[in-house]
Structure 1
Amino acid sequence: MVNYIFDGTFDGLMTVIYVSYYNRQIPNDILSENSYQRNFFGDDVYISTDIDKSNKVQDAIKNKISQEALKNIFYVYLSELESSYMLIYKYVRLGFKIGKKIDNYLQNDIVHNVIKLSQRVNHESYKMIELIRFKEIKKGLFYAKIHPDYNVLPLIVPHFAARFQNQYFVIHDVKRNLSAVYDKKSWIITDISPEKTLITKEEEDYENFWKIYYKNISIDERKNLRLQKQYMPKKYWDILIEKQ
């Protein structure tokens, strides 16, 4: 009974799948080193990330299963659920057997859970794109904070990089202390937190104007907090200017 331990990265997980496949060894569990607790009743094997092996597994998934399957796997990985590692592993093994039609097997628990979790992560990425509000914290530098349930930062940054090609911006995931930084050419995700900086006077004036506008167009007699929470969960309100 073997447990595979890896560094928690997507390439690391793909490396685990490669090693398991070529060693013909099915793991009892797959764990990230961040949450790993030594198991005294089995063998724990640490697998070092190998980019070449990771790429081979990803190419195999695209060729033998589908590009869509690889996307679903990545989205499930971004859920950050510890159980997702074994779920991905089982899905890939099943996909290598079934092939390109795997996602038609929705009656299979593995396929069903992968599709369902992938859709949840994808849905939250769209929700973040709709909700993000940038503030100009320095002249020409825009900042936005988010705290999504899932790690959707890698999914939303390409959208804003394409939309705001001529702007410097930072999207800060305060829940994970990760920041996506765009410099008008390319973007990276880093664990360096942006410094707390006062917003510019122009941005402060804009925010005040928007709050006044929102207050004036609202009709007290028609306020329905239950309906608001239904369409806009309260956990997102702190990133909306009009709710601050």
Structure 2
Amino acid sequence: MAELSLFHSSGLPDQNNPTVLLFDGSFEGWLSAVFYAYQHKLVRTPLSIMTVHDHTANFLDEAILVATDAQKAGRVLNKIREILSVRDVIWAFLSEDKMVYTHLFRVVVYQLDNPNRSVMGNFAHPDVQAVQACIKKVGRERHRMQAFVRFEDTTQGVYFAKINPDFNILPLIGDFFAKRFADQSWLIFDVVRGYGIFYDHQEPAVGVREIAKIDEQILMDGNEFHTDGESIYQRLWQAYFRHVTIKERINPKRHIAQMPRRYWRYLVEKKQKSCI
């Protein structure tokens, strides 16, 4: 009996069937998948690109796992720099939308096919529309995280904050906080994706670093790591929040529109009984 595999055994697709290129979820992995598509002349065939985590195996398409290759990824990135805004590509990629990796690939193809046009301005094109929508969502989330992050002073000499954003915006907010709190050491941890960014004010030249692991206890109960003054500061901030609120002007709908409930979990002022 012939061996049955969920992945194409030869590594080359049957071009009569739709092809799915799978990558590891990293930006370099996606760039490697784009290289593979051009290398194996799959650009004009039914093709989609997605992460291995998003793919559900079926018998209707040919799934190929593409290994991340730094050299090939670099070549694709250099080409993208020539034809598109790398910032736009990265922001859309960080949306983690299951279809955005395919939309981005098609936008790259669209731009290469039309070298004399700026295709990202063609909002009537479905792939451009999808990519622009992802960029807008990520930009909005980035802006809100810059406003809603609440640091807590810890006995480790580091100001610590937890966030749970809808999109992977940590790579986009590091520079903002490094400039705003250059005289402090701080760590912002994404509890959804399980990693954080760390800045050590004693080593400013190093810049913002990625942190993969932290003490699980601080995620479960950060109060245990608070300095003596942190609880006082939190009570003062909560008292200020209560007293500046004009009860007669409370507008719950407007409040939630400006500060959606999903951000409240880690806001110090929302740890008390809310006025909304």
Which runs of structure 2 are paired with 1:46-65 in the superposition (5 Å)?
46-63=65-82, 65=83
Which runs of structure 2 are paired with 1:155-174 in the superposition (5 Å)?
155-174=172-191
Which residue is 2:96 aligned to? Answer: 80
TM-score, L = length of structure 1: 0.92
Secondary structure of the equivalent of 2:198? strand
Structure number having the greater helix percentage: 1
d(CA) in 1 for partners of 2:61, 2:253: 50
* Aligned with 2:52 (options 21, 33, 39): 33
Which runs of structure 2 are paired with 1:1-244 in the superposition (5 Å)?
1=17, 2-26=19-43, 28-63=47-82, 65-66=83-84, 68=85, 70-99=86-115, 101-184=118-201, 185-195=206-216, 196=218, 197=222, 198=224, 199-244=226-271
Structure 1 consecutive aligned stretches of length 4 or more whose deviation exceeds 4 Å: none
d(CA) in 1 for partners of 2:181, 2:135: 27
Secondary structure of the equivalent of 2:54? coil
d(CA) in 2 for partners of 1:191, 1:40: 36
Secondary structure of the equivalent of 1:25? coil
Secondary structure of the equivalent of 2:154? strand
Contact 1:12-1:54 at 8 Å conserved across structures: yes
Gaps of 5+ in 2: 1-16, 272-276
1:187, CA displacement in angstroms?
2.4
Contact 2:50-2:98 at 8 Å conserved across structures: yes
Higher mean C-alpha displacement, 26-35 vs 174-183: 26-35
Contact 1:177-1:193 at 8 Å conserved across structures: no
Secondary structure of the equivalent of 1:138? coil
1:139, CA displacement in angstroms?
4.8
Secondary structure of the equivalent of 1:237? helix
1:207, CA displacement in angstroms?
0.8
Higher mean C-alpha displacement, 75-84 vs 163-172: 163-172
1:219, CA displacement in angstroms?
2.2
d(CA) in 2 for partners of 1:46, 1:103: 29
Q: CA deviation digits over 1:42-67, x for unaligned, max 9? A: 3221111011111111110111x13x
Gaps of 5+ in 1: none
1:12, CA displacement in angstroms?
0.3
Contact 1:91-1:111 at 8 Å conserved across structures: yes
1:75, CA displacement in angstroms?
1.1
d(CA) in 1 for partners of 2:244, 2:131: 43
* Percent of matched pairs sharing the same residue: 28
d(CA) in 2 for partners of 1:42, 1:227: 47
Higher Cα Rg, which structure: 2
Mark the CA change 1:220 to 1:172 in structure 2 (over 3 Å): closer, same or farther: same
d(CA) in 1 for partners of 2:245, 2:79: 55
1:81, CA displacement in angstroms?
1.2
Contact 1:179-1:194 at 8 Å conserved across structures: no
1:117, CA displacement in angstroms?
1.3
Aligned-partner residue type, residue 35 of structure 1: D
Aligned length: 241
CA RMSD of aligned residues (A): 1.7
Secondary structure of the equivalent of 1:148? coil
Q: CA deviation digits over 1:92-120, x for unaligned, max 9? A: 11111223511221221111221121111
